[in-house]
Structure 1
């Protein structure tokens, strides 16, 4: 099978990543609507904190068995069978993996429901057992866990669809999950202000949405696969290889998930509101990672799995092109998060029970997260390049090392930062700057959001860990294929555009401080100014992605004018 030319490869990358990006964009927009509704009805209070903790517990199953692991272990083997014309074998492989996933997730669902109480006790040691917040978390875990099992099967559908280059449906399917939550959350939230009832409505909406997300993908999978039969047999060709890789990736993902759980554990030792604030900041931080890092890495994985890996120059060019595309889209997000993060937060969340002070607190945490954004997104593509040659062990090891570094740094700085309060009046020290657990009065079940910045310590640890992992991955990719460039072939031009965007961000902040506008308008103004200046400068200095983007907009305007 002949390889595509360089131009064809670039166009293929753009088309595939655009489809993935479009699907993710729609799902993430729906996710932002979901989070905005959650913030309006739950704010940063007890219901929001219990919901954040409860979502983390069953999500262990989704993240260990779901999309990232299946992409790394299943897609390369399945894509190879398709490339060799062995569609029947590919169908049998897909059926065996689905059967094994169904068996494992069924067991884990039972464990999660039956042992929800002890699991919650381990995860949130700072919350007194028997308190309203603790009991609500246990209830939410029992509701959410079965739905997460369906999301694992949805990730299997994504693996099959992506291998057949059907990208859009699999990444837009989460819109159904978000829509179900939004409908139930808003319906119940408008009828009652009782946080426990509203939080449970969110959970039941998530279960309904999980079934919808799986259901919308399944017909397409059934049409594409031949010889699909559910089984748990390891004798099916390719299954042992997938399971072997699966175990290695799970080890790496397990380390990352352990870090996520440790975040919950230590956040429960911080002043009230820390876990909720972290959750809201993470939703925005993960948006560009999903839109750009995940989109491009997912679009590239099938191709990187089937390229001639002996042609190191072509592989490196492909990786560099992807890294340049990642950087072009991620850099303005970094600028916005770091310099006008509070305005971004206010645009998305500040309404109902989510206050202006909470926007400042969450915005500060988001700004710190933004420091590691480029590293996190670039690492996704570097991981895919190693997955493409069957190396799942190395990224797994690096993921564990990232976790260790993130936790060591995060825990070292979070307790001193928990003495710092961020409000609309400014940032001030209101407690003892020391390495100690927050006073019990600030961690009580009925304690309001203390607006402290302990969560920013965990965000800083995550940023340092992200750069550490990127450095390790870049070194390994250089050994396997050759040197790659952060920011791709047009990194210097992207830096110039970023500097211009930073000036625009500072100008936007000065403008909104002198003109009294609605919080939503202020954020949109800042984002619009940063984005437009960045794209225009990037086009002027010759960044191809900027020319492509503005060219599409010009053609769209011309068609509308005609």
Structure 2
């Protein structure tokens, strides 16, 4: 293994560790939401309201900055031009502050039309719609804080400080959890001896949570700023365009917004579609996406985020250089292997025992077994595209590192069009399918060409409507369409890449072996307390998958097990 490979693995590990801490606290937040709000109107309102300002965070920060700012900033650092790098960082920060400030003001003033634009279907539920508008106004104040935090992430990553930038969101989540618990305790004081929250109290609770979201954004930024100020040497956030390097960032910004932003916009269009479904569909999608995004963040994003600064700094943009192409291909292959070794078993586990995992995380308070089943079915739809989505993140990073921002934009657009067109068709049909104590039945006429009548959307007591499954399944299919297009583009620019780094067959075989062992044990696992179902299922799956993968010669698993064995020997 080369020193570069060792560095790449260490960087990926630091990113994954930071994201893991952040995601775990995010799961705690979602469990608290499930406990107090279940999958009702208040949960639907918070889901929509949180998405709207979050769009600007993603468009102006995070993925966009990673692909437009990091390559330029990293290249200047690699060339020893630290002063120029600092000037670029200052100018980009100034431009971001100007844009985020103006958009935040517009968001607060235009909260109602924005809510109509993103979730028009909620107008059929006036109380939920009004609550959503209130929450949008509150949470738009977090936009600027989160965008600057994303800029901090870009600076820290370029300097090899991966852990801090990715663990900082854990504080954001922690503040939200504390807000939920404290506000719920205050609201429940003297109410039916501390019983469950009623509709009015749930609405008050999510308003408090909106305020906690703003405070959490401030805390997330505050923990990163001291390190960033030290690294950038004389930070002066003045919005200037005529600074060497800034025009390069701005030129890449537009296409990258198209590539990254179109995927984010797709999420909001999914919210728009789901707003026309039965009550609880928005919240169910939210809970399922938490589980779906966990492996994407831990594995796909971690590998891509760790690889991008090094690929950019080492000049892999020279695709006429055979040595550079070969070096890039080796890293992409290795990254795809790392992704597949972890994502394939995760996807298999979600399909086989996703309900057990969902129960362990969310079954509490207002979130019962029926909600668990609904989330599992939606998660299964998303899981269809899990391997494609995580692998696609790395292929996008490879194209960005070579200076190609057009192809990722085109492929992302194709993915969105396929996802939304197919999702609109499937959701209308599946919302007529009802799962209840009597099994699966059809309620209404098929094929369907219009949403359910408004009065039927709220009539969901004791049953699960499957409309949200259609949106999730369409998203999974579209992810594979995008991956095929990305592979072709990388193949033309760099050379042929192999899914799973050439190990996909062995990885799939090991995952299937674990599933075959686990399926007969499901009845026994269902007898356990909900808090233990998923934990025991995951442990059993790993106890089969890991040794089988090792026997089949899956490199990543062999290296992980060898590392664990070395640590154990040292301690003994």
TM-score by length of 1: 0.95
1:139 CA displacement: 0.7
Is residue 181 of structure 1 aligned with residue 188 of structure 2? no
1:227 CA displacement: 4.1
Partner of 2:522: 509
Counterpart of 2:500 (choices 477, 487, 490) is 487
1:470 CA displacement: 0.6
Partner of 2:5: 10
Partner of 1:156: 151
- Segment of structure 1 superposing worse, 286-295 or 500-509: 500-509
Counterpart of 1:528 (choices 539, 545, 552) is 539
Is the Cα–Cα contact under 8 Å of residues 370 and 462 in structure 2 kept in the other structure?
no
Partner of 1:547: 558
Q: Which runs of 5 or more residues in structure 2 are unaligned?
A: 189-196
Is residue 61 of structure 1 aligned with residue 56 of structure 2? yes
Counterpart of 1:237 (choices 244, 253, 273) is 244
Partner of 1:297: 304
SS at match of 1:215: helix
Counterpart of 2:412 (choices 376, 399, 402) is 399
Partner of 2:454: 440
Is the Cα–Cα contact under 8 Å of residues 296 and 326 in structure 1 kept in the other structure?
yes
Question: Do the aligned partners of residues 355 and 432 (structure 1) sit closer, same or farther apart at CA in structure 2, a change above 3 Å counting?
Answer: farther
Partner of 1:111: 106
Is the Cα–Cα contact under 8 Å of residues 169 and 220 in structure 2 kept in the other structure?
yes
Partner of 1:31: 26
Partner of 1:215: 222
Question: Do the aligned partners of residues 424 and 145 (structure 1) sit closer, same or farther apart at CA in structure 2, a change above 3 Å counting?
Answer: farther
SS at match of 2:2: helix
How far, CA to CA, are the matches of 1:21 and 1:143 in structure 2?
31
> What are the residue-to-residue correspondences of 1:158-557 with 2, within 5 Å?
158-191=153-186, 192=188, 193=197, 194-309=201-316, 310=321, 311=323, 312-423=325-436, 426-435=439-448, 436-444=450-458, 451-513=464-526, 516-557=527-568
For residues 381-440 of structure 1, give each alpha carbon's deviation from its aligned partner in whole angstroms, at most 9, with x where no partner exists.
001101111111211111111100111111111111111223466443334333221121
Partner of 1:3: none
How far, CA to CA, are the matches of 2:166 and 2:330 in structure 1?
26
- Segment of structure 1 superposing worse, 334-343 or 23-32: 334-343
How far, CA to CA, are the matches of 1:481 and 1:325 in structure 2?
20
SS at match of 1:128: helix
For residues 318-342 of structure 1, give each alpha carbon's deviation from its aligned partner in whole angstroms, at most 9, with x where no partner exists.
1100000000111111011111111
SS at match of 1:126: helix
1:447 CA displacement: 6.4
Is the Cα–Cα contact under 8 Å of residues 273 and 448 in structure 1 kept in the other structure?
no
How far, CA to CA, are the matches of 1:141 and 1:85 in structure 2?
44
Question: Do the aligned partners of residues 386 and 285 (structure 1) sit closer, same or farther apart at CA in structure 2, a change above 3 Å counting?
Answer: same
1:7 CA displacement: 1.8
How far, CA to CA, are the matches of 1:253 and 1:442 in structure 2?
36
How far, CA to CA, are the matches of 1:522 and 1:331 in structure 2?
21
Is the Cα–Cα contact under 8 Å of residues 345 and 508 in structure 2 kept in the other structure?
no
SS at match of 1:428: strand
For residues 230-265 of structure 1, give each alpha carbon's deviation from its aligned partner in whole angstroms, at most 9, with x where no partner exists.
111111111011011111111223322332222111
Is the Cα–Cα contact under 8 Å of residues 500 and 533 in structure 1 kept in the other structure?
yes
For residues 517-549 of structure 1, give each alpha carbon's deviation from its aligned partner in whole angstroms, at most 9, with x where no partner exists.
112211111111112211121112222221222
How far, CA to CA, are the matches of 2:227 and 2:42 in structure 1?
38
Counterpart of 1:70 (choices 62, 65, 71) is 65
How far, CA to CA, are the matches of 2:241 and 2:491 in structure 1?
35
For residues 7-58 of structure 1, give each alpha carbon's deviation from its aligned partner in whole angstroms, at most 9, with x where no partner exists.
2222111100000000000000000000000000000011100000101111
1:156 CA displacement: 0.1
1:64 CA displacement: 0.6
Q: What is the aligned length? A: 553
Question: Do the aligned partners of residues 269 and 70 (structure 1) sit closer, same or farther apart at CA in structure 2, a change above 3 Å counting?
Answer: same
How far, CA to CA, are the matches of 1:286 and 1:233 in structure 2?
36
How far, CA to CA, are the matches of 1:449 and 1:148 in structure 2?
38
SS at match of 1:190: helix
- Segment of structure 1 superposing worse, 362-371 or 429-438: 429-438
Q: Give the root-mean-square deviation of aligned CA atoms.
A: 1.6
Is the Cα–Cα contact under 8 Å of residues 30 and 362 in structure 2 kept in the other structure?
yes
Is the Cα–Cα contact under 8 Å of residues 70 and 155 in structure 2 kept in the other structure?
yes
1:450 CA displacement: 5.0
Question: Do the aligned partners of residues 130 and 344 (structure 1) sit closer, same or farther apart at CA in structure 2, a change above 3 Å counting?
Answer: closer
1:272 CA displacement: 1.1
- Segment of structure 1 superposing worse, 395-404 or 291-300: 395-404
1:119 CA displacement: 1.1
How far, CA to CA, are the matches of 1:308 and 1:130 in structure 2?
54
TM-score by length of 2: 0.94
SS at match of 1:422: strand
